[in-house]
Amino acid sequence: MTQRIVVIEGDGIGTEVVPAAVDVLEAFDIDFEFVAAEAGDAVKAETGEALPAATYEAAANADATLFGAAGETAADVILPLRDAVDSFVNVRPAKAYPGVEALRPETDVVFLRENTEGVYSGHEDRLSDDLSTLTRVVTSSASRELAEFACEFVDDGRGPDHQDGFTVAHKANVMRETDGRFREEVLAVAEERGVDADEELMDAFATKLPLDPTQYGVVVCPNLAGDVLSDLAAGLVGGLGLLPSANIGHDNALFEPVHGTAPDIAGEGVANPTAAILSAAMLLEYLGYVAEGERVREAVERVLADGPRTGDLGGSATTDEVTAAVVDRL
């Protein structure tokens, strides 16, 4: 059965790393149909829309979407795209790899981030020259849905081997009604499902993670906390160029590297394709090609260990050279 993959390169190095990920997917004998679509700054400059309706519809009707990055229009692109695939959880692994200089080479953490609510709900107002407001939204239903996913995630053994269960990171001691509701619902689901769950205040977590990342395995977070804390973890493993992510919905999903457009190196052919390729590995696993996804991950680890490497990892290879090395190892 043909599976339709919408490919949105976006801006900056997205136009370089997303084709690298497609090259890796094409290395397998899988019946994928790749459908190109547009979004981002360049599209807005040309059409007036950062995310054309045709792109939204293509993502909504695909089996999965692979997205690169958007620049100034990022919020106008990624938030609607997550809506298009009905995403309720953002999965962000942060793992140190052999051969990559890492601040904490023992790091192996997966963040499960609520993907629809919190301060990213878009309820902002400028009420006067002196006053702006932001309304934070937290519902029991979305919190429980994330918790159910987290329980299934750890029950299926998809978390790091060194930790059982998960940790809930929150700030319920200050945001008592919003994070309080989130904390209560997530812990309640864990108890109902018989899954071990502990908790950590997010600011304490931000201190403890760099000191000893082995304390944590799977971390369940509200939206903003997951965004910030996963980027903190990136600094422990060698940078954002190594971090993939998945936006999982009920019948659809969106996969993207988390590094952004990197305008300082865009167009030079030296961008690190690792995060985009690892996002493709997550896409394969999501569609049921678990062995193929693991093969991609193993190939990436071998290339990171043995080379070639791009400049951000101390090498001098181009994007194409690293991609070819991964494909060769497949």
Catalytic residue from among 164, 196, 198, 203:
203
Taking the CA of residue 41 as centre, how many other CA atoms within 13 Å lie in the half-sphere pointing to its CB?
A: 14
Comparing CA positions, the residue from 15, 99, 10, 82 lying closest to residue 226 is 82
Give me 41's structure tokens: 């700054």
* C-beta separation of 197 from 165 below 8 A: yes
* C-beta separation of 271 from 265 below 8 A: yes
Give me 51's structure tokens: 């995310």
Give me 216's structure tokens: 């944590």
Q: Cα separation of 295 and 109, whole Å?
A: 20
**Alpha helical stretches, state H, 223-270:** 223-237
Please give the single-letter amino acid code of residue 217: G
Catalytic residue from among 56, 97, 120, 289:
120
Q: Please give the helix or strand (H or E) that residue 324 lies within, else none.
A: helix 319-329
- Is 231 catalytic? The answer is yes
Number of Cβ within a 10 Å radius of residue 201: 16
- Is 130 catalytic? The answer is no
- Is 171 catalytic? The answer is yes
CA separation, residue 111 to residues 101, 134, 232 (Å): 22, 25, 11
In sequence order, the 6+-apart residues with CB closer than 8 A to the CB of 198 are 165, 167, 168
- Is 95 catalytic? The answer is no
Catalytic residue from among 171, 179, 286, 289:
171
Catalytic residue from among 76, 83, 86, 231:
231
Secondary structure of residue 247 in the 3-state scheme: strand
In sequence order, the 6+-apart residues with CB closer than 8 A to the CB of 244 are 92, 93, 255, 256, 257, 258, 275, 276, 277, 278, 279, 281, 282
Catalytic residue from among 227, 286, 289, 312:
227
Number of Cβ within a 10 Å radius of residue 165: 17
Active site residues: 120, 171, 203, 227, 231
